[in-house]
Amino acid sequence: MSNGRAISQNVKKEVETKSFVKEFLALIKIGIVNSNLITTFTGLFLAFQFTNKSFLHSLDLLVLTLLGTALIIAGSAAMNNWIDRDIDPLMTRTKERPTVTGRFDGKAVFTIAMVLIIAGELFLFSINNVAGWLGVAGVVSYVVIYSMWSKRKHVSNTVVGSFSGAIPPLIGWAAVEPTLGFGAWALFLIMFAWQPPHFYALAMRRTEEYRAASIPMLPVVKGFKRTKISILGWILLLFPLPFLLKELGLGFILLATVLNIGWLILSVRGFKAKDDMKWATGMFVYSINYMTILFVSMIIFSIFI
């Protein structure tokens, strides 16, 4: 009987541990952390290739950059959850967050967020001041300017939030080349222009939830037709940006252009779509694949320059 109780207790502890890990990863928005690390690594790798520096001889720099960036993004995400505790229960997408369910109380979340952000900044400043200050800019723009201010007050909140999302590749580049070459700003512009159509598609799918939470997202305030026009405009802005990375070769420019044309066609079809939710879902999925393929291809093409 005692062995049975011991086994039962061990199983219970294991389940609780797995549950805690799952809740913690949800708190720091691990999906966002991972996607941003792709762009951070791309910025770092391209900086090595463009400056003819040895990647294999700087693995310590790679670890510090990715770890520092991951920590500040995780901390900022946790801080966003802390800030949004009052509106998250109103939205289906966010009502299961650990700050809503009570798995983590407000004080604990704030402490976790600050520890992660400070630790991440220590790593980034240990690399160089530019990487460190870019990290600070990313945190402030996301936590203060976006989460605490524009998200709840202005229909332009998505564009404002795009600034912080475009900083990770700059951090990666700055770790290798603090002067931030032309390629670094090309990555920044691509990430900046990619985000509005990506998040507008998501906002369309969650319009009623945002309306219930009084968040002035574009489809809530201006409607679907105006949102589709904005999506189209931002996609058109993406077309010339791959040419800023002409060092990657004609193959990259052709691939990026094909991706842009595909997204443009899908966007135009939205004006005649009979099912806006189905169309918005397709746009959202395409945007994720777009970003992944584009940034991975940058790494691949840079190897052959």
87 belongs to a structural domain: yes
**Considering the chain, what percentage of its residues have pLDDT values greater than 70?**
94
19 belongs to a structural domain: no
Structure confidence at residue 204 (pLDDT): 96
Q: Is the pLDDT of residue 11 over 60?
A: no
At 17-33, the pLDDT tens digits run 667 888 999 999 999 99
**Cα(68)–Cα(64) distance, rounded to whole angstroms?**
6
How high is the mean pLDDT of the chain?
92
121 belongs to a structural domain: yes
Q: What is the DSSP string of 173-237?
A: HHHH-TT--HHHHHHHHHHHHHHHHHHHHHHHHTHHHHHHTT---HHHHT-HHHHHHHHHHHHHH
What value does the mean pLDDT take over residues 75-93?
A: 91
Q: Which residue has the tokens 């003819």?
A: 52
Q: How many domains does the chain have?
A: 1
CATH code of the domain containing 97: 1.10.600
Query: Six-digit token pair at 77?
Result: 């995400």
**Cα(224)–Cα(116) distance, rounded to whole angstroms?**
38
8 belongs to a structural domain: no
- Model-level pTM? 0.91
Domain of 208, in residue numbers: 30-302
At 60-80, the pLDDT tens digits run 999 999 999 999 999 999 999
Structure confidence at residue 99 (pLDDT): 85
**Considering the chain, what percentage of its residues have pLDDT values greater than 90?**
82
